[in-house]
Amino acid sequence: MVDAYMRAALDEARLGLAEGGIPIGSVLVIDGQIVGRGHNRRVQRHSTILHAEMDALENAGRRRASDYRRAMLSSTLSPCSMCSGAALLYRIPRIVIGENTTFRGPEDYVRSQGVDVSLTADDEAAAACVEVMRRFIAAHPALWNEDIGE
């Protein structure tokens, strides 16, 4: 089943890769519309906080609390503690993940806070999310470790 939001997140990941960055992408969706697109910008902006989800949230601009309450965050990779925390701050009720095999954030804690966290049903997109990360991590292990604080 095609997950158009995950594919948009994957497009962001690939855009990041083409820029020489870490290939993780994310989109923020409200009422079926993508309102913010983002990708990891550690390399591009020399940033320690612009993970894909943070970039998508920032690019979505300042929104009403009621907007976040019906939003969904789609990410190619399982969100880390920082990005999970951002979703909790704004009480985003749903997170869809491309893959959580190359990295897994605190999904159980996020679920315990009432968030619906699930893997995409788009198997083709999921496989592409894993593939892009596996290749990147193999080629740039130090950069990847830096991004997850290891």
Spell 31-40 as b/e; 16+ CB within 10 A means b. eeebbbbbbb
Chosen residue from 20, 32, 114, 149 binding its own copies by CB under 8 A: 149
Which residue spans within 7-127 are E strands per DSSP?
Answer: 25-30, 33-39, 71-77, 94-99, 116-119
The tokens of 67 are what?
Answer: 């907007």
Q: With respect to its own copies, which residue has the nearer C-beta, 50 or 132?
A: 50
The tokens of 126 are what?
Answer: 């999921």
Cβ at position 146, least distance to its own copies in Å: 7
CA distance 13 to 116: 23
CB 24 within 8 A of CB 47: no
Cβ at position 147, least distance to its own copies in Å: 9
Q: With respect to its own copies, which residue has the nearer C-beta, 84 or 120?
A: 84
Task: For the beta carbon of residue 2, count every other beta carbon within 10 angstroms.
Answer: 11
- Options 12, 19, 53, 131, the catalytic residue: 53
Q: With respect to its own copies, which residue has the nearer C-beta, 13 or 80?
A: 80
Q: Is 53 a catalytic residue?
A: yes
CA distance 4 to 9: 9
Contacts to its own copies from residues 27-86, by CB under 8 A: 42, 46-49, 54, 57-58, 60-65, 68, 80-86
Q: With respect to its own copies, which residue has the nearer C-beta, 17 or 60?
A: 60
Cβ at position 46, least distance to its own copies in Å: 6
- Residues annotated as part of the active site: 53
Residues that bind its own copies (CB under 8 A): 42, 46-49, 54, 57-58, 60-65, 68, 80-86, 88-91, 106, 109, 145-146, 148-150
